[in-house]
Amino acid sequence: MKKLKRGVLFVFEGIDGSGKTTQAQILLNKLEEKGFAAVYFREPSLGRWGREIKKKAALADSVTPEEELNLFQKDRRENVKKNLIPSLSAGKVVILDRYYFSTIAYQGAKGIDPEVIRKMNETFAVKPDLVFILDVKPKQGLARIADRGAKDALFEREDYLIHVRRLFLSIKGKNIIHIDASQSQEAIAESIDRIAMECLEAVIY
């Protein structure tokens, strides 16, 4: 098992249908094959507040943007405390499927100031080492969702996702990696693996 000087957090983001969950799982498997202690979490989490979000998501317009934001904040605080911090403290590679960047994009697209959301989260959220934002046009993302027979009443409208995508594209930083998710699954996975390994090489004993 490869030993790290500290835990590392990789986050996967993107609109619905961008392929982020698939790529997160691919990276998880590759890291495990290479001898890294790696774990996978997602938001909404499997905890109390995450289950509440999933329940609300089954009913369109069942919550106001502010109520929705509050639920995500509660779920994230629980996820950070119960999952992220313990795993990172144990020197593991944590792969997280959605984080507060999704809140910036999705709730920001509903009218809440993205900068307010960012500041609110950065008071308690663990800073990621890398954030992979998989970019795909909403029409293509929705076509992928339809192909797998999945529907999500909260997030499926194309006009809404256009705004969400715009906010994702506006997120910048030295640890923010935007990836063209219209490429083949293999090409995307290869790019992510290369970038992730460059980051990990710096913290391997």
Which pLDDT does position 145 carry in this prediction?
84
Q: Is the pLDDT of residue 21 over 80?
A: yes
Per-residue b or e along 116-152, where b marks 16 or more CB atoms closer than 10 Å to that residue's CB: ebbebbeeebbebbbbbbbbbbbeebbebbeeeeeee
Range name among 58-67, 121-130, 134-143, 168-177 with the lowest pLDDT average: 58-67
Average pLDDT, the chain: 93
| 195 backbone dihedrals φ, ψ, rounded to 5° | -65, -40
Which pLDDT does position 153 carry in this prediction?
43
154's torsion region: left (phi>0), alpha (psi -120 to 50) or beta?
alpha
**Contact assessment for residue 203 and residue 6, using Cβ atoms and an 8 Å cutoff:** yes
> 94 has which bridge partners?
9, 39
Task: Please state the rounded mean pLDDT for residues 136-153.
Answer: 77
**Contact assessment for residue 41 and residue 62, using Cβ atoms and an 8 Å cutoff:** no
Ranges of each domain in the chain: 8-201
CATH number of the 8-201 domain: 3.40.50.300
Q: Is the pLDDT of residue 150 over 90?
A: no
Task: Please state the rounded mean pLDDT for residues 102-126.
Answer: 96
Task: Please state the rounded mean pLDDT for residues 36-45.
Answer: 97
Q: Is the pLDDT of residue 149 over 50?
A: yes
Q: What residues contact residue 24 under an 8 Å CB cut-off, 6+ apart?
A: 12, 40, 42, 95, 96, 97
Q: How far apart are CA 52 and CA 69, in angstroms?
A: 12
Q: Is the pLDDT of residue 74 over 60?
A: yes
H/E run at residue 199: helix 185-201
Q: What is the pTM of this model?
A: 0.93
